[in-house]
Amino acid sequence: MVQNILIIGSGGREHAVCKAFLESDSSLNLFVLPGNAGTALIAKNILHINLNNHSEVIDFCQQQNIDLVFIGPEQPLVNGLVDDLQKNNILVFGPNKNSAQLEGSKIFMKQIAKQAQVPTAKYQQFTELQPALQYCLELNFKCVIKADGLASGKGVIIVNNEQEAKDAINSMFAGKFGLAGQKIIIEEFLTGFEVSYFVIADGSNFVSLGFVCDHKKVGENETGLNTGGMGTFSPVQKVSPQLQQQIDAQIISPTLLTLKQQNNQFCGVLFAGLMITDQGPKLLEFNVRFGDPETQVLLPRLNKQFLPLILASVYKKLANFQLILDETKKLVCVVLCAKGYPENHIKGKQINGLEKILQTPECYILHAGTALENQQIIAYGGRVLNVVATAESFAEARQKAYNLLQKINWQDGFYRQDIALKAL
């Protein structure tokens, strides 16, 4: 029986994960490493452990009798934390180091996509400027330059002309993204509508959690700089059941099968960034964990099945798992950021009065970049709070979310007003 769970991460995603675990079993004992001011209300934040030192994490799990570890962000997965926990017989949800390469290396992802015949943008990989530029010319300079490794979501640059291509390639080779940009891929620019798709896999089988649209740009109407995500909505009505079947058959199943054939079974969340083009769905990227803020609009549709679902993946029992999503719920998440985000945001400002705001199971606040200092809530991250609302229609869910946002009295923050407008 699972009683003690350690959740790794500190974002709105991890707060949503804690909430979903407790909804499936309110007697669970949750620890979050390192957590935020929101997780501190429903779990115990662990602040004294260095996540990069895997033996510290293992010691903690053994001392606290941790029954299950849930890893939120990509870096510990790519660093092989799953492998090290498993070597010590600690149950953990997430892919091992090898299969986490799907996110950790864009070159690896493209190779798997090729072997699995997954539709994706045509590309080549480079380590030098001249051949890279020559390929951009072949693509008429309408192309996307990507650092091979992890770059906190910033290693993708869309270019439109020779100068932009040159600048982007040079900046990567000059170390803008550190080692992550020493190798790059250049791919054709795809057009269509973008959507994120989430499944949970157990190495052989998978269950679908559905589709999410996110809003990446900092400004209204998708203008300004890219961010980690300013808001999300789910489900995505533009994706028909037939399109989902096509995505499952052409992208998800062949990828999992190809990995399995290479003795590299994928267990965990597979998050596919997709472009739905005129020629059908194409894979833009794979992530190997839940998205933030996508998770916030996915988990409330699971109807208390979160813990059983995670355990079914860990124990490789998804073939017999009947996941029933609440199809009536429309969900919206709006991210409240610190002014200046995503460049230089204000840090260390206090947020007062959150406890006086009426929250309900249909409309509530999740914490992201917050911390508790002397019992005060302090904003230290760029994305600070999330407001999540559920209703029978997107119009109603938006209204609830924005009504609650107006009650948050925090002069140092801002949010986009147009989240989920395109779902109406």
Contact residues for ligand AMP, defined by CB under 6 A: 121, 144, 146, 156, 158, 187, 189-190, 194, 273, 284-285
Whether 74 contacts 100, CB under 8 Å: yes
What is the closest distance, in whole angstroms, from the C-beta atom of residue 58 to ligand AMP in the complex?
Answer: 31
Which residue number, 30 or 298, has a Cβ lying nearer to ligand AMP?
298
Q: Whole-angstrom Cα distance, residue 285 to residue 283?
A: 6
C-beta nearest to ligand AMP: residue: 285
Tally DSSP H helices, then E strands, for the chain: 14, 23
CA distance 277 to 408: 40
Residue nearer to ligand AMP on the CB measure, 276 or 401: 276
The residue (of 25 and 194) whose beta carbon lies closer to ligand AMP is 194
Q: Is the distance from CB of 390 to CB of 397 less than 8 angstroms?
A: yes
The phi and psi torsions of 72 (rounded to 5 degrees) equal -80, -65
Structure tokens at 115: 């072997």
Residue 201 phi, psi (nearest 5): -120, 155
* Nearest CB to ligand AMP, comparing residues 77 and 318: 77
DSSP symbols for 153-196: T--EEEE-SHHHHHHHHHHHHTTTTGGGGSSEEEEEPP-SEEEE
State the minimum distance, in angstroms, from the CB of residue 55 to ligand AMP: 32
Closest CA to 284 of 232, 222, 216: 216
The C-alpha atoms of residue 21 and residue 17 are separated, in whole angstroms, by 6
**Nearer to ligand AMP (CB atom), residue 104 or residue 203:** 104
Tell the smallest beta-carbon distance from residue 283 to ligand AMP (Å).
9
- Report DSSP letters for 54-101, one per residue: HHHHHHHHHHTT--EEEE-SHHHHHTTHHHHHHHTT--EES--HHHHH
Nearest approach, Cβ of 200 to ligand AMP (angstroms)?
A: 20
CB of 241 to ligand AMP, least distance (A): 24
Q: Return the number of the residue (407 or 422) whose C-beta is nearest ligand AMP.
A: 422
Do residues 370 and 378 touch, judged by C-beta distance below 8 A? yes
Q: Which is nearer to ligand AMP, 142 or 347 (CB)?
A: 142
Phi and psi at residue 298, in whole multiples of 5°?
-100, -45
CB atoms within 10 A of CB 315: 11
**Cβ 337 to ligand AMP, closest distance in Å?**
19
Q: Rank residues 215 and 301 by Cβ distance to ligand AMP and give the closer one.
A: 215
Name the minimum Å distance from CB 125 to ligand AMP.
Answer: 14
Q: Closest separation between CB of residue 217 and ligand AMP, Å?
A: 10
